[in-house]
Amino acid sequence: MRKQYYKLRGSSYVLSLALPVMGTQIANTMVQLVDTMFIGRIDALSLGAVALTGTLIWNIQMISEGFATGLTATIARRIGEKEAVKASEFLRTGLIATLFVSFIFLPLIQLGFNGLFGFIQMPSDLYPFASSYFKTFMVFLPSIYGLTAIQAAFNACGETRTTMKVSLAMNLINIVLDWAMIFGHLGFEPMGIAGAAYASGISFTFGFLILLLISSRREWSPFKKSKLFSYSHLKLIIKIGIPSLISNMAMGISQMAVMVLAVTPLGSLSLGAFNIVMKLASLSFMPGFGFAIAASTGTGQSLGAGEPEKAKAITRLAVFYCTVVMAIISIAYYTIPDLLIGLFSTDISIVSMTRSALRIYALFAVFLAPAMVFSGTIRGAGDTRYAMIVMIISRFLLRLPAAWLFGIVLKGGLSGVWLAMCLDFLVRGIVMWIRFRGGKWAKAVA
């Protein structure tokens, strides 16, 4: 009876954290998803340009996720220990460091974007569209990095509903500004693809500033009167965050390599189709992100309170619920692909290519649940080095060569590329499950 009662409370805890995070992630993803929908109404070249630059932007954004992982683990552990002042010091130190890095990167990226485009082999017909979108979007890099850090703090403290509400407001602002700035409404001149970048950037800036304002009323506020900056705190954030940063960079670089080696050779239309599948897939990632953050937060707070068994129970529940939700999404993707693809493009060639690739993804998407949730638990405990090693091996020794083999050598096209990516999900999920069962992650320092 007691065990059943705990399971009920554990389910409530997991869902109360995960569902708002899912809402937040969906809203954040919708910012660029809506961009893609509007841009798809301009022309196929603009859609292909956003596909390539989107991968590059995602790779740059992933750097801030490294800091976010370090902040989540350290702040959640301090909250579990009932040390709000220390949580405040960790947040302030992390915010300062994150913003400093963004201001260092900003001019370097703006000056070196030609080299970045050369690295991903940007087709000449897409170059002017991609350049306009990328250079405009990158102006808002400090806001994007700052938003990532402050969202991590709210999630670590269990305030996932707050981030969800702000993200929904961001999304509404983005939709209105996309419509106004891309096509020329509400007094704006038509800006085309650059208008989409401005709309996204402004919405991210709004989210960062609002969450910063709300945080000022919390006991772990970064504005609390205490030590301004702590090198010892930064050292711990970096110790936990650097492996996560390397993992994220491995994800981004390997994804760009997949596009260069296996997608770009298929032609500009394939780039547009690949982008549509990625956008739809990113929506189905949301349950994974939501339950992974719930597992990460629950693990950090449970270990801080000296309750490792509670962390394990939370993780198991998170895997179960995440698997159920992703299975439902997979059924929708497999049974009504044309309806979903039609939201992005009505081009017959793009729809045809996208349909088969999306159905392959739908067959394997459920395996993302254990891969993402177990990874969230391991990261939340501070065991980010193991997660880094798994990510590097799976991405570069499995996904990349398999995408080239299935997509180009065996002439599987876009469907072959997605089959390779799905095999990566499956293998990574198995490896993370083995680590979770071993229990070494519970002994990591955060």
Q: What are the tens digits of pLDDT across the range 393-405?
A: 999 999 999 999 9
For residue 444, the model assigns a pLDDT of 67
* % of the chain with per-residue pLDDT over 90: 32
Q: Between 143 and 55, name the one with better pLDDT.
A: 143
Look up residue 202 and give its two tokens: 């402004």
Please give the mean pLDDT across all residues of the chain: 86
Is residue 208 pLDDT above 80, yes or no? yes
Give the distance, in angstroms, between the CA of residue 196 and the centroid of all CA atoms in the same chain: 20
Is residue 445 very low, low, confident or very high in pLDDT (cuts 50, 70, 90)? low
Q: Which domain holds residue 356?
A: 2-443
Q: What are the tens digits of pLDDT across the range 264-305?
A: 888 878 888 888 898 888 878 888 888 888 888 888 888 888
Count of structural domains within the chain: 1
Question: Worst-scoring range by mean pLDDT, 38-47, 222-231, 325-334?
Answer: 38-47
CA angle 231/235/238 to nearest 5° reads: 130
Is residue 110 pLDDT above 90, yes or no? no
Is residue 438 pLDDT above 60, yes or no? yes
Q: What distances in angstroms separate CA 367 from CA 199, 377, 423, 428, 431, one per listed residue?
A: 34, 16, 9, 9, 12
Instruction: Return the amino acid letter for 283.
Output: L
Q: What are the tens digits of pLDDT across the range 165-180?
A: 998 899 899 989 989 9
| Cβ burial 42-69 (10 Å sphere, 16+ → b, else e) | bebbbbbbbbbbbbbbbbbbbbbbbbbb
CA angle 378/56/259 to nearest 5° reads: 90
Q: What distances in angstroms separate CA 267 from CA 185, 254, 413, one per listed residue?
A: 34, 19, 10
Is residue 335 pLDDT above 80, yes or no? yes
Is residue 4 very low, low, confident or very high in pLDDT (cuts 50, 70, 90)? very low
Q: What are the tens digits of pLDDT across the range 354-376?
A: 999 999 999 988 888 889 999 88
What is the 8-class DSSP label of residue 333? H
**Cα–Cα distance measured from residue 390 to residue 433, given in angstroms and rounded to the nearest whole number:** 12
Is residue 40 very low, low, confident or very high in pLDDT (cuts 50, 70, 90)? confident
**Cα–Cα distance measured from residue 108 to residue 15, given in angstroms and rounded to the nearest whole number:** 41
